[in-house]
Chain A
Amino acid sequence: MDITVRILRYNPEKDDKPYFREYGIKDVSPDLRLLDVLHEIKWNQDGTLTFRRSCAHGICGSDGMKVNGKNRLACSVLLKDLNLKKPVVIEPLPSMPIIKDLVVDMSGFFSKYEVIKPYLITKTPPPPNSERLQSNEDAEKLFESAKCILCGCCTTSCPSTWSNENYIGPAAFLKAYRFAFDTRDEAGDERLDIIDNPDGVWRCHTIFNCIETCPKEINITWHISQLKKRISTREI
């Protein structure tokens, strides 16, 4: 089948502002990934088209972009799952500065991730020659949050992010959950205090955009609600 793709282009060395450019691709299989289509354009039509990608199967988190209005990973979207009667509209992830075409500046995203102390904090030394014990049930409580690939789809889909650049955002909260609910972690208030403020979890208004957009199908809002519960029930 033949398809049309409309891509938001922007080259800071040439353009005053972003603009859409259309590309036609003939005779494509509906089984292709959207990333394959971007490669087809880059390699056969327009070498200047710029986007990030690496693993091409939804693990590295490089190719987050807005596809027909929704944040997706280009490598995890198959053409047959899109309405191909109309042009497929591809834009960079919203609310981050565009570096070029579909490449956005993610430094703000990563700095918020670092803010919540995304590492195990312990005070009790571990046993010297063996692992700390943890039940498999407790371990599995972490797995859904640990699936996060830091692609940025959730945080940039969140209206609270759009309206407040200081908002820590769902991806960082998910990571906060990952540690706060780890039976081995002893950070306690140290981490919770960071997210218990107006730019923290309370700015999550359960809009559920993050869940809808997450390419790893993580129920992010549920995890944030668990953090809220933990914070609101702690001793002051």
Chain B
Amino acid sequence: MVKNYDVIIIGAGGAGLRAAVEIPKEYSCAVLSKVFPPRSHTGTAQGGVCAALGNMEDDSWENHAFDTVKGSDYLGDQDAIETMCKDAIRAVIELEHMGLPFSRNEDGKIAQRKFGGHTKPEDPNDPYGKRIPVMRACYSADRTGHVMLQTLYENCIKNKVDFYSEFFVTDLIVEDNVCKGVAAFDIATGEVTVFHAKAVMLATGGYGRVFRITSNAHVGTGDGTALVYRNGLPLEDMEFFQFHPTGLWRLGILVSEAARGEGGILKNKDGERFMQRYAPTVMDLAPRDMVSRAIISEIREGRGIKGSDGTDYVLLDVSHLGKKVIDEKLPEITGFARTYLGVEPTKEPIPIQPTAHYAMGGIPANVNCEVLADEKGNTVKGLYAAGECACVSVHGGNRLGTNSLLDIVVFGRRGGKAIGEFLKTAEHAEIKSKPEEKTKEKMKSVLDNTGTEKVYKLRTELQEWMMEKCGIFRNENDLKAMVDKLVELNERYKSISIEDKGTVFNTDLMEALELENLLANAEATVHGALNRKESRGAHTREDFPKRDDDNWMKHSFIFENGGSPEIKLKPVTVTKYKPMERKY
């Protein structure tokens, strides 16, 4: 079956929904998602969305941009960061206008709180002097992502957006550098449809499920990044994967940085507030990469606490904040601690350990969300990407907390606008290949495979190895071992067999296809990590512990290249922020 649309958006999280709202009404637009839109992973974001509204204290978008550049460890493209931080104020006010129920300050304006890495100069006349934490994160209790997703979904209903929920995209149709649509199957029936479009936006989210301990939902399998990579197009900076310092021990469930923003502190087994040794100025509110490394360093030096599952954790203490603050501002996350660990946060500290959280890297795109075909800046006609699956790059080597919810609304809108412009002159280009047959064959090859390998076993091996060899601390030996392991896993993937051979809601089949996507993401990540011989942001090489600005203020563009990945480099765009040592 073939369906024609002007534009197809893949993914119904914040970026996809924001883009859908922006597409001019005269064009036909459909959003495809493998889950119902309100199930998307945006809904799990907790702490806030950043904008220098200055509702609580003086602040400026320039402060926000400075922090984002520094937080990125000088890998973020500074022009793109300026675009985002400047637009943040309008974007957050727009969310309020759309109906998002923000918490409010005493004046009835949007309430803001502190978050890691968000600072301003102590002396406004000395922008490069000492910096102190600033209240910049706009929030709705600790459910900011949830209400944002709801609000955007509500606005899509208002705008009568066409949804294809529970459709799994199997193929991105790119011919002669022109994107012509996608192929997908309806999960409920197994029926394959080719969506023939003038423009396609990928808003498919991250791939945290390549790691064993992750805050990411089961859907976070990097389907969009894999589609691009398998199409011979590059992925950018995939070696930069953020580990959030405070995942609930054993489960990886996110405990928002808002807990520390509101005054929570991290302690080791001796009860010491260890962050004062790692980031004397901002302590527990240092950026995530630094706090995660600090936690692992504490554990390695014997100051962690051994859990019943054999893994080590440290403690996040919010008990001194009092029941009122906890119940009003952190209800959701303290609820998780109660439900899943039986810990009462008003009385005792919460066991936490770093959890794989966010892909800074992804599909290279410019500030108008046009996907780049190479490191030289050439674009793929009709193909757009926004949100976590994209790399603009505004997060560089390390994303600051609350900048992801910002990223999705700023770039979702920009992408929608750019597509609107593009559609003024765009036409449906003829599809020369046979995508419907290709997808049917792909599904059949999994369904008919009688091999002895199991999806679950392969995926678990991948996740455990990635955690061990390509996690917070990396080195050449481990990464080379991981490269070999991936060759083995890719080979074994050819012999997977599944039990469910049916066409109706075959989640067995979906998990197999998602594993194939995870393997692609892992490959790009590991090769990127092996190639980058420095430590920057979330990428820490024990064998190259220093940041190397002379050689590595560059983005990695990785191409699949028929199974032997090839990496090309693109210089970081610098405007006015000179790299300096990253101390907090």
CB <8 Å contact, A54 and B219? yes
B502 within 8 A of A: yes
CB <8 Å contact, B155 and A13? no
Q: How large is the interface on A (under 10, 10 to 19, 20 to 34, 35 or more residues)?
A: 35 or more
How would residues 93 to 124 of chain A score, 1 for a CB under 8 Å from any chain B CB and 0 otherwise?
00000011001001000100010011110000
Contact partners of A46 in chain B: CB under 8 A: 499
Q: Which of A33, A52, A76 has the most B CB atoms < 10 Å from its CB?
A: A52
How would residues 42 to 60 of chain A score, 1 for a CB under 8 Å from any chain B CB and 0 otherwise?
1110111011111111111
CB <8 Å contact, B96 and A54? no
CB < 8 Å neighbour of A131 from B106, B110, B340, B507 = B110
Give the nearest-CB partner of B145 in chain A.
A59
Once the chains are docked, how many angstroms separate the CA of A46 from the CA of B38? 29
CB < 8 Å neighbour of A57 from B35, B36, B253 = B253
CB < 8 Å neighbour of B218 from A56, A120, A147, A149 = A56
B269 within 8 A of A: no
A232 within 8 A of B: no
CB <8 Å contact, B35 and A62? yes
B339 within 8 A of A: yes
Q: A46-B499, A60-B44, A139-B101 are in contact. Are A103 and B505 (CB under 8 A)?
A: yes
How would residues 21 to 55 of chain A score, 1 for a CB under 8 Å from any chain B CB and 0 otherwise?
00000000000010000000011101110111111
B491 within 8 A of A: no
Once the chains are docked, how many angstroms separate the CA of A73 from the CA of B140? 24
CB <8 Å contact, B502 and A131? no
Give the nearest-CB partner of B509 in chain A.
A47
B563 within 8 A of A: no
21 intermolecular pairs with C-beta atoms under 8 Å apart: A13-B504, A14-B502, A50-B506, A51-B507, A52-B35, A57-B251, A59-B44, A60-B38, A60-B217, A76-B339, A99-B188, A100-B504, A103-B505, A119-B154, A119-B155, A120-B98, A129-B93, A131-B96, A136-B104, A136-B108, A150-B36
Contact partners of A129 in chain B: CB under 8 A: 90, 93
CB <8 Å contact, B154 and A47? no
CB <8 Å contact, B93 and A12? no
Give the nearest-CB partner of B500 in chain A.
A48
B432 within 8 A of A: no
Contact partners of B505 in chain A: CB under 8 A: 50, 99-100, 103
CB <8 Å contact, A54 and B140? no
Give the 3 A-B CB pairs with smallest separation, nearest first: A120-B99, A47-B499, A133-B108
Contact partners of A59 in chain B: CB under 8 A: 43-44, 146, 332
Give the nearest-CB partner of B147 in chain A.
A146
B498 within 8 A of A: yes
CB <8 Å contact, A143 and B141? yes
B68 within 8 A of A: no
CB < 8 Å neighbour of B217 from A55, A110, A146, A149 = A55
Contact partners of B106 in chain A: CB under 8 A: 136
Q: A150-B38, A184-B99 are in contact. Are A134 and B104 (CB under 8 A)?
A: yes
CB <8 Å contact, A119 and B504? no
Once the chains are docked, how many angstroms separate the CA of A21 from the CA of B240? 45
Contact partners of A13 in chain B: CB under 8 A: 502-504
Contact partners of A52 in chain B: CB under 8 A: 35
Contact partners of A33 in chain B: CB under 8 A: 340
Query: DSSP class of A's interface residues: helix, strand, loop or mixed?
Result: loop
Contact partners of A131 in chain B: CB under 8 A: 93, 96-97, 102, 109-110
How would residues 133 to 175 of chain A score, 1 for a CB under 8 Å from any chain B CB and 0 otherwise?
1111011101100110110000000000000000000000000
CB < 8 Å neighbour of B498 from A12, A47, A182 = A47
B422 within 8 A of A: no
Q: Which of A61, A114, A132, A136 has the most B CB atoms < 10 Å from its CB?
A: A136
B555 within 8 A of A: no
How would residues 172 to 208 of chain A score, 1 for a CB under 8 Å from any chain B CB and 0 otherwise?
0000001100101100000000000000000000000
Closest approach, in angstroms, between the C-beta of A217 and any C-beta of chain B?
Answer: 9
CB <8 Å contact, B93 and A44? no
Given pairs A131-B97, A140-B328, 11 additional interface contacts (CB within 8 A): A33-B340, A54-B218, A60-B39, A61-B39, A100-B502, A136-B104, A139-B104, A139-B140, A142-B101, A146-B150, A149-B38
Once the chains are docked, how many angstroms separate the CA of A61 from the CA of B43? 10
Contact partners of A44 in chain B: CB under 8 A: 456
CB <8 Å contact, B43 and A78? no
Q: Which of B39, B102, B104, B508 has the most A CB atoms < 10 Å from its CB?
A: B39
Q: A55-B43, A182-B99 are in contact. Are A114 and B188 (CB under 8 A)?
A: no
Contact partners of A179 in chain B: CB under 8 A: 99
List which B104-129 residues lie within 8 A (CB) of chain A: 104-111
CB <8 Å contact, A182 and B101? yes
